[in-house]
Structure 1
Amino acid sequence: MTTATAGLSTSPVIDPTRWPDLTARRAKARRAIEGAVARRIFLSVVRRLPVRVQIGREAIVGGGIGDPAAPLMVIERPDAFFAAVGAGGLIGFGESYMGGDWNAEDLGGLLEIFAAQMGTLIPEPLQRLRAFYVARAPHTEKNTTSNTRNNIARHYDLSNDMFATFLDSTLSYSSALFTGDDAPGSPLAGERVTLNNPRTLPTWEDLAEAQGRKVERMLDSAGVGAGTRVLEIGTGWGELAIRAARRGATVLSVTLSSEQQALARERIAAAGFADRVDVELLDYRLVDGEFDAVVSVEMIEAVGHEYWGEYFRTIDNVLAPGGKVAIQAITMPHDRMLATRYTYTWIHKYIFPGGFLPSTQALVDVNRAETSLRVTERLSFGQHYAETLRLWDERFLGALDRIHQLGFDEVFDRMWHFYLEYSRAGFRSGYLDVQQLVLQREGGR
C-alpha cells in the first residue's frame, strides 16, 4: 500500500497569495478552545484504529501500537494541526497536510483506515449536530449554468501539460479496467450486476490498454457502431470520441473546459476523425438533437445533487427511440450520501468545486421518478480505480521537477498527492465504488 514520497517537501514554503487559508491566523482564544476539543476527539478516534500517531515529542499513541506495519502519522506541529482541525474539521485536516503540519510515509494506508470507518469517526452525539458546525458550499459553487463553467475550469483547466505528467498515452482521467475476474452482484431494481476485481497487481505498462478496455466496453454497452449518432457528455481529452469515430459513429462531444476542448480537437484531427467528431464548449443542459447513444464517463460527479434530475431528463429528451445510455460513475453508500449532501469538504474547496458523488440507489431513484430511463446493467469495479490512482500518484511524484517547471509549487505537490491518495483510500476501503451503468427505456422503446 505504500507510495514512495521521495522528493515531496515535508516543510513546504507557503505563498500566502496562492494559499491564503493556510496562512490565516484566527483569534488565539478561539484557536485554543477549538484545538483542545479537536485534540480530544482525534485521540479518541485514533486509539480505536490500527494506526500509530506521533504527536510532536510525545509518546506514540493509537490502536496500532506494537504493530510496526501499522501506518504511522507524524504530527510535526501539534498546535497548528489541532487548531486547523478544530477550526475546519476535515477541511482543516487536509489543509494541515498541505502546509506540512503532519506527514505519513504510507499516506494511502493511513487514509484507508480512516475511510473504512468514515461513518463512525465522529461520535454520534456530534454527528447529530452536524448541520450546526460543518461548512456549507459557497453559493458561487452551485452548478447553475452561470457557475458551472468556472467550477470545471478550476480543475480541468489547470494545465494540460500538468495532467500529462501522470496520465498515460490515452490521456484518460477516469478509472481504467484492468484484466480481472467477474462475479455476480446484488441488483437493486432487477438489473444485471457484475463485480470485477483486478486479477494481478497492475503496472504502468498495463494502464493504457486498460483505459482502452474501459472505453471499448462502454461503447459496446451503448451499442455504438457504424452510423450511430453519439452524444458524449464530458469530453476529457478525446479518447472515447476517437474510438467511437473509429467504429464509424458520428459524435457530438460537449465540455466546459477550454483546455480540454483545444487538445481534444487536436488529438481527434491527428487521428483523422475531424469530420466525424464535433467538440463543443457547451453545457449539457443546452444540447439539442437526437442521438442513438449517450455516453458519459465520470461526469455526473460534477453535476451536483440538485441537478441530477435535470441531467437525466436532458439525456432522456435527446435519446432516440431504442437508444441506450452508458455512464461511468463514482458512487458512495446511500446513507453517507444523505448525511453529507450539504457538507462542504476539502475536495470541494481544493479539487472539485460543486461536485458530489451519487449513490447507486439515488441513480435508480432519480430515473424512476423523473425519466423513462431504467438501469438495466451495472459493472462494479472499484478496486480497479484504487490501482489506477496508485499508478497516477507514483507517476506524479516522479514528475515533481516537471510540475515545478510548469509553475506549480510545493504546496500544490502535497495537495495533489493528498487528493490522489485520499481518493485511492476511498476505493481500497470499499467506501467508494466506480460503476458502468447501462440505461434504457422500459421495453427498449
Structure 2
Amino acid sequence: MSTQESTAPAPAATAAWWRPPETIPAAPLLGRLTRLAVAPMARRLGIRVALPDGRVLGRPDPRAPLMRLHDPEALYRRFGALGPIGFGESYQAGEWDADDLTALLSTVAGHLRAMAPRPVLWLTRLQADRRRPPATRNTAGVAARNVRHHYDLPSELFELFLDETMTYSAAIFPTGADGRPLADEAGLADAQRRKIDRLLDLARVGPGTQLLETGTGWGALAVAAARRGADVHTVTLSVNQCREARRRAAEAGVADRVRVELCDYRDIRPRGAGGYDAVVSAEMLEGVGHDFWPDYFATIDLLLVPGGRAAIQTITMRHDDMLATRSKDTWIHRYIFPGGLIPSVPAVEAACRRHTRLRVHRAGSYGPHYAATLRLWRERFDRHAAEVDALGLDRVFRRTWHLYLAYSEAGFAAGHLDVEHLLLDRAS
C-alpha cells in the first residue's frame, strides 16, 4: 500500500478471499536459491533491493526503483515455491514494499520483455507448473460466481475510486502534441463519456436502434445509448450492478428504454421477433475465458440482424503471451479475476473465423490511456484508505488492490498490455 496507510484496526477477516496463506511454503532449497539470485536479478531487472540490515543490492543508480524487504526469508520462500504468485502474496502479507510500486513493476516488466535474467529462468524451471483450477472455468454455473467474486464487493468501494459515471474500463483522454493522453482527475468523467460515445458511434447506435450490451457495469453506457433514442437490453451477472444500473436508468428518466437483466450471455433472448441492430461491450470479453470465446462470438453472430454491427472494447496482450498463460494459474486469476483471460487480437480473429460469420476490424488502440486511467484510480483508491477500512475491508485487502491497480498500470505502461476497439460485422 502507500507509505501513509491507515492505522485503524483491521476487522477480523481470516477467511477472506483476499488474504494470502498464512503458512509460508517451506521450500528450503528454492528459498536459498532465490536468496542467492536476488542481487543478480535486481541488477538485470534495473531495480534496487534494500535489506533490513541496511545493504542495498542491485543497480547502484539512486534513480532506480527501490524495493524494501521487511521479511526477506518469507519473500524468498514464497517466490521460490510459487514464482510470481508468491511474489504477489508476499506483498499482500506486508513482507516487502516499494517507494513507487508502479515504477518498480514497470521497470521489471520492461526488462523481462527484453531478456529474462538467467536466475529467473533457473527458478522458473524448478518451480512446479501450476494449472488453473478447473473449478474456476466459466461454465454457465460458475461464471456468475466468478463475476460476483469481484463485482459484488460493496458498491461504495467502487464509488471511492471511480468517477461520477461509475465506468470501470479504460477512458479516452484528449491527447497532446506528442500523442500522449492529457489525463487528470477533473477530466476523468468526460474521458469516460468520450470512450462510450466512440463505442456507440462505432456500432452506429442512434434513434430506434435495438441495442444489446453484454456486461452492464453500473449503467453509464446503457443510459447514454437510451439518451440517443436506442432501445437497450443490457445483461450482467452482478447482482449489485444490476440493481444500480436499474436505479441509474430510472434516475436519468430512460427506464422505459433500458431493460437491465441478470443473465448469462448464453441465455440472452431478444425482445420480440428478430435480433439486435447493434451489440456493444466494454471489457466484458476478458471475463469470458479462453474456452468460451467461440460461444461468446457465436452468440453475437446469432443475435445480430443482417447488417448489424458489434463494437467491442477489450484489453489485449501479445498472442505468444496469451498462449503461454492461458492455462496457468496467476496472481490476478487467483485473487482478482478468477476464470478470466485477456485475449489477443489473433485469438479473437480465429474464434470469429472458425465459429461465426463475423469479420474483425481493428478500430483503435488506447494502451497509454488505460495506464493513465489506472493511475487516477490508484491515486484515488490510496487516498481513501480510511473509507475502505470503514467498509470492513482490511489492510490486506488494500494491499491486494493497490498491487492489482499498480500491476495493471505497469502492464500498460510497459507495453505488455493494450486496449482495443474492435468492430465485428458480416459480409452479408
Shorter chain as denominator, the TM-score bin is over 0.9
Structure 2 equivalent of residue 326 of structure 1: 311
Cα offsets for 1:163-209 (capped at 9, x unmatched): 10000000000000001269xxxxxxxxxxxxx94343x11001000
Look up the match of 2:180.
Answer: 198
Q: Any gaps of 5 or more consecutive residues in structure 2? A: none
- Deviation at residue 117 of structure 1 after TM alignment: 3.4
Q: Structure 1 102/386 Cα, relative in aligned 2: closer, same or farther at 3 Å?
A: same
Q: Which one is further off, 244-253 or 281-290?
A: 281-290
Rounded to whole Å, the distance in 2 between the matches of 1:68 and 1:218 is 44
- 1-side partners of 2:364 and 2:73: how far apart? 46
Note the alpha carbon deviations across 1:319-344, whole angstroms, 9 max, x for none.
Answer: 11001010000001111111111111
What corresponds to 1:178 in structure 2? 173
The superposition leaves residues 221-275 of structure 1 with CA deviations (integer Å, 9 ceiling, x where unpaired) of: 0000000000000000000000000000001100000000000100011001111
Matched residue type, 1:108: T
Alignment partner, residue 370 of structure 1: 355
1:153 correspondence with 2:138: no
Is 2:31 the counterpart of 1:57? Answer: no
* 1:48 paired residue number: 44
1:32 corresponds in structure 2 to 28
Is 1:226 the counterpart of 2:226? The answer is: no
The more displaced of 412-421 and 366-375 is 366-375
Aligned length: 421
Matched residue, 1:252: 233
Query: Contact 2:215 / 2:284 at 8 angstroms: preserved in 1?
Result: yes
- Please tell me whether the aligned partners of residues 197 and 381 of structure 1 are also in contact (alpha carbons under 8 angstroms): no
**8 Å contact kept, 1:379–1:436:** yes
Among candidates 14, 17, 39, match of residue 16 of structure 1: 14
Distance 1:80 1:411 in 2: 16
Asked whether the 8 Å contact 2:171–2:191 carries over to 1, the reply is yes
Residue 139 of structure 2, aligned match among 127, 141, 144: 144
The structure 1 residue matched to 2:330, chosen from 339, 345, 354, is 345
> What amino acid sits opposite 2:224 in the alignment?
R
Report the Cα distance in structure 2 between the residues aligned to 1:283 and 1:112, rounded to whole angstroms: 36
For the structure 1 residues 128 and 410, does the alpha-carbon distance in structure 2 shift closer, same or farther, using more than 3 Å as the test? Answer: closer
Q: Which residue of 1 aligns with 2:418?
A: 433
Cα distance change on mapping 1:408 and 1:118 into 2, 3 Å: same
Match of 2:64 in 1: 70
Contact kept in structure 2, 1:45 and 1:121, CA below 8 Å: no
The two structures have a TM-score, normalised by structure 1, of: 0.90
1:16 Cα deviation from its structure 2 partner: 3.2
Give distance in 2, aligned partners of 1:4 and 1:16.
22
Is 1:99 aligned with 2:107?
no
Q: d(CA) in 2 for partners of 1:268 and 1:13? A: 35
- C-alpha spacing 1:377/1:334, structure 2 compared with 1 (3 Å): closer
Gaps (5+ residues) in structure 1?
183-195
CA–CA separation in structure 2 for the residues paired with 1:209 and 1:394: 18
Please report how far the alpha carbon of residue 6 of structure 1 lies from its aligned counterpart in structure 2 after TM superposition. Answer: 2.2
Residue of structure 1 aligned with 2:5, choices 4, 7, 10:
7
CA contact (8 A) 2:214 2:265 kept: yes
> Is the CA contact (8 Å cut-off) linking 2:93 and 2:396 kept in structure 1?
yes
User: Shift of the alpha carbon at 1:401?
Assistant: 1.1
Aligned counterpart, 1:388: 373
Partner in structure 2 of residue 277 of structure 1: 258
SS at match of 2:255: coil
Deviation of 1:288 after TM superposition, in Å, equals 2.1
Equivalents in 1 of 2:353, 2:164: separation in Å?
39
Partner residue of 1:305?
A: 290
